[in-house]
Amino acid sequence: MTPDKLEVRGVSKAYRRNGAPPVEVLESFSLSVPALEFLVLLGPSGCGKSTLLRIIDGIETCDTGQIILDGVDVTGKSGHGRGMVFQSFELFPWRTALENVAFGLEIAGVPKAERLEAAAGCMELVGLTGFMKAYPHELSGGMQQRVGIARALAIKPSILLMDEPYGALDVQTRELLQDELLGIWERQKTTIIFVTHSIEEALYLADRIIVMSPRPGRIDHIITVPFPRPREEGIKATPEFLAMRREIWQMLKKGATV
């Protein structure tokens, strides 16, 4: 049997500040993610979605538990085949788009000519060939997020972690980038774990949706999305899509607090 690409084993996390009682964010969270799956994490604000993603990436530690990637314990270790895309683009304003994309390769010690060539290929992949010399302030929000995706892809991750990457964008740009992301995922053959608050976005993108409980975050429901690929915009208006959207909304309402 082929092992799961990623295993999250019993991860718990609490935040402790200024002597106040600890705030439990995640509790004994376990999850297996097969290679090449598009997995979406969906849940109320504060349920630990982003924290879980950062723990998987290794940029945040957990109190208990393990992150296993290809059979190797990578708990608390960044890199190791994981690339991260943030909601707040996190681009260096003094670097061109191409230089931003090449940054991870620079940190990894890749020679300049090689890393710029690889970065240019990733910019072409996200449709920004004509903007390599542009600085972040010269790019729209959608373009800046494309740069962020290209930067994550440049290190050739086996798992792409995306933390509400389209949350700050207008609806039209968000929908265009959803389609672009599906195209990139199908061509690049990588695993994606995607955090969102949007039920529609989750249903449109995912193979499986993990619906998380309110804090402390646990798995409330696991939903296998039945819609065939490739997916097109029109699917969002079908009775089947709308029925699943209502069903998931009812799941979220049960644990919602105002």
Mean pLDDT of the chain, nearest integer: 91
Does the pLDDT value for residue 169 go beyond 90?
no
| pLDDT one-digit tens code per residue, 22-50 | 889 999 999 999 999 999 999 888 889 99
Q: What is the pLDDT of residue 200?
A: 95
| pLDDT one-digit tens code per residue, 74-85 | 999 987 789 999
Q: What is the pLDDT of residue 46?
A: 85
User: What is the pTM assigned to this prediction?
Assistant: 0.92
Report CA 239 to chain centroid distance, whole Å.
28
Edge-to-edge strand list for the sheet holding 72-73: 23-33, 6-15, 64-69, 72-73
Q: What mean pLDDT do residues 99-110 have?
A: 92
| pLDDT one-digit tens code per residue, 47-100 | 899 999 999 999 999 999 999 998 899 999 987 789 999 887 789 999 999 999
Does the pLDDT value for residue 198 go beyond 50?
yes
Range in 2-11, 36-45, 185-194 the model is least confident about: 2-11
Measured CA to CA, the distance from residue 134 to residue 138 in angstroms comes to: 6
Q: How confident is the model at residue 258 (pLDDT cuts 50, 70, 90)?
A: very low
Q: Is the model more confident about 80 or about 151?
A: 151
Measured CA to CA, the distance from residue 141 to residue 128 in angstroms comes to: 13
Q: What is the pLDDT of residue 4?
A: 55
**Angle at Cα 160 formed by Cα 154 and Cα 164, nearest 5°?**
115
Q: How confident is the model at residue 18 (pLDDT cuts 50, 70, 90)?
A: confident
Does the pLDDT value for residue 211 go beyond 50?
yes
Q: What is the pLDDT of residue 149?
A: 92
Domain 1-81+198-258 grouped into CATH 3.30.420.40: no
Q: What mean pLDDT do residues 8-26 have?
A: 89
Does the pLDDT value for residue 174 go beyond 50?
yes
Q: What does the longest C-alpha to C-alpha distance in the chain come to?
A: 54
Q: How do the domains of the chain map onto residue ranges?
A: 1-81+198-258
Q: Are 231 and 216 in contact (CB under 8 A)?
A: no
| Distances in whole angstroms, Cα of residue 31 to Cα of each of 56, 117, 256 | 11, 36, 23
